[in-house]
Amino acid sequence: PHIPQVSFRFFDSQDDLIKAINSGEVSGGVLTMPVKMSDGEKWNEFRFLLPRYFAVFFNPQKAEFFSDKQVRKALNLATDKKEILEKIVDNQGEIVSSPLLPQIYGFKNPTTTLSFDLEGAKTILTSAGYVEKEGKRVKIVKKEPAFRLTKTLGPGDEGKEVEELQRCLARDKDIYPLGKITGSFGVLTKKAVIRFQKKYKEDISKIVGRQIKCSGFVGRGTRTKLNEICFKEEEQVIPLEFTLTTADQPLLKKTALLIKEQWEKLGVEVTIKTLSISDLEREIKSHNYQALLFGEGMGNIPDPFPFWHSSQTDFGLNLAYYKNKKADELLIEGRTTLSPEVRARKYEQLQEIILEDAPAVFLYNPAEFYFLSKEIKGVKIGAMPDPSKRFSEINNWYIETKRGF
For residue 291, what are the CA distances in angstroms to 9, 240, 246, 332, 357? 36, 13, 9, 27, 16
Measured CA to CA in angstroms, residue 184 lies from 164, 219, 226, 229, 330 at distances of 11, 17, 18, 21, 66
Helix, strand, coil tally for the chain in percent (to 5):
40, 20, 40
Neighbours of 400 (CB within 10 A): 8
At 402, which amino acid appears?
K
User: 50 and 94 in contact (C-beta within 8 Å)?
Assistant: no
The pLDDT, as a whole number, for residue 113 is 83
Residue 345 confidence (pLDDT)? 94
CA angle 382, 387, 393 (to 5 degrees): 50
Edge-to-edge strand order for the sheet containing 130-133? 130-133, 136-143, 234-239
d(CA 132, CA 144): 23
pLDDT for position 402: 75
**Residues 6+ away with beta carbon under 8 Å from 24:** 42
- 297, 52 Cβ separation under 8 angstroms: yes
What per-residue confidence (pLDDT) applies to 38? 65
* Residue 171 one-letter amino acid: R
pTM for this prediction: 0.77
Digitized pLDDT (tens) for each residue of the chain, 405 residues in all: 888 899 999 998 888 988 888 888 898 888 877 676 666 678 888 888 889 999 999 999 999 999 999 999 999 999 999 999 999 988 988 999 999 988 888 888 888 888 999 999 999 999 999 999 888 999 988 888 888 999 999 999 999 999 999 999 999 999 999 999 999 999 999 999 999 999 999 999 999 999 999 999 999 999 999 999 998 877 788 899 999 999 999 899 999 999 999 999 999 999 999 999 999 999 999 999 999 999 998 887 889 999 999 999 988 899 999 999 999 999 999 999 999 999 999 999 999 999 999 999 999 998 888 888 888 999 887 767 778 888 888 999 998 877 777
What DSSP string describes 132-195?
Answer: EETTEEEEEEEE--S----S-B-TT-BSHHHHHHHHHHHTSTTT-SS----SB--HHHHHHHHH
